[in-house]
Structure 1
């Protein structure tokens, strides 16, 4: 399942278990152009995905090691990147009164919901952050361009933004990890000491080129 499909299913599940629990309304992800608007079903909530953009303000550097069950590093993962999925949430019903009533319920849900719990079928680095798009003063809202581009009369819209953490594919280690080593010790032959007269108090000089007896440890791969 793709990331976008997963977000679609999560949004639909959260809506059906929340504000639409007692409402007989469909949840669709159609493009609300003029043809669709003319043949739309009864009461429905449409979530039109109109944009996908990276949240560069949260881009990170570095990475994390991937280890197996024995604690051996088998690869590396880069930091997650965050993407914003923009959904135009609209309500389509038999009358503006019905649409406005349900739209108000959905607005309360959006304000009270900060995150969406992802399904266990996909692994993410965190929850899906949910918020209403904040349009700065003097900037045209995306919904204005949306209706003109689709050729549909303008209608009330909740511009939802779902932020998704996406982890890039990991890379394996360049060489086979070291899983152990063998050590072997042997004693080098020591030179035979020279006899000295007892009581002389004199120790003969060590022959040139000889060293003290020592132990040598060799690494065996």
Structure 2
């Protein structure tokens, strides 16, 4: 399941358990163009995903070491990146009064709700941040520009922003770490003279001053 699908499922579940509990209304994620609006019937809450942008204010740098049971660094974990998913929430009903009544209920829910519990993995404890987009004074709300492009008459819209963390895979350590070192000593057999007798005076040493030598083998 993709991260966007998880957010869709989370929003639908939260709405049905909250402001839409007991309300006979559909929850869809369609593009509200003129053809869709003409085919629609019944009370409907539409969540149109119109933008995906990174929240650069939450971007972090630096990696976290992943250590195994022996205390050895085996990988590096990179911090997640956060993205804002913009949903245009609109209500479609039989009359403007029906739409306004439900839109007001949804507005109150948006103001009172700051976090969403991810679905279908609520046990992980990672919440999703929810808020309404803030439009600078004198600027046109981004969601309001949708209607001209979709060919649909303008209507009230709640521009929801859901911030979701996107994790990145850990980077394993390329080289296998050295876990131990073994040293082995072996006795060096002295050379023999032509008559078969051990020669205790190896070449390059003065007779009577030879010492036993050992080979040292390093094993990783």
Shift of 1:32: 0.2
- Residue 142 of structure 1 pairs with residue 149 of structure 2: no
Shift of 1:54: 0.6
Q: TM-score, normalised by structure 2?
A: 0.79
Structure 2 match to 1:62: 62
Give a deviation string over 1:15-35, Cα, whole Å, max 9, x none.
Answer: 011111110111000000000
SS at match of 2:30: coil
Q: How many angstroms apart in 2 are the aligned matches of 1:141 and 1:98?
A: 24
Structure 1 match to 2:42: 42
Structure 2 match to 1:52: 52
Q: How many angstroms apart in 2 are the aligned matches of 1:116 and 1:71?
A: 37
Structure 2 match to 1:6: 6
Q: How many angstroms apart in 1 are the aligned matches of 2:100 and 2:89?
A: 13
How do 1:33-182 residues align onto structure 2 when only pairs under 5 Å count?
33-68=33-68, 72-121=72-121, 126-178=126-178, 180-182=179-181
Between the two proteins, the alignment pairs up a number of residues equal to: 190
Q: How many angstroms apart in 1 are the aligned matches of 2:172 and 2:96?
A: 57
Q: How many angstroms apart in 2 are the aligned matches of 1:129 and 1:45?
A: 21
Q: TM-score, normalised by structure 1?
A: 0.78
- Name structure 1 gaps, 5 residues minimum: 187-216
**Does the CA contact (< 8 Å) of 1:48 and 1:87 recur in 2?**
yes
Structure 1 match to 2:197: none
Query: Does the C-alpha gap of structure 1 residues 70 and 98 become closer, same or farther in structure 2, counting only changes over 3 Å?
Result: farther
**Does the CA contact (< 8 Å) of 1:124 and 1:166 recur in 2?**
no
**Does the CA contact (< 8 Å) of 1:124 and 1:165 recur in 2?**
no
Query: Does the C-alpha gap of structure 1 residues 2 and 16 become closer, same or farther in structure 2, counting only changes over 3 Å?
Result: same
**Does the CA contact (< 8 Å) of 1:125 and 1:165 recur in 2?**
no
Query: Does the C-alpha gap of structure 1 residues 18 and 128 become closer, same or farther in structure 2, counting only changes over 3 Å?
Result: same
Query: Does the C-alpha gap of structure 1 residues 93 and 69 become closer, same or farther in structure 2, counting only changes over 3 Å?
Result: farther
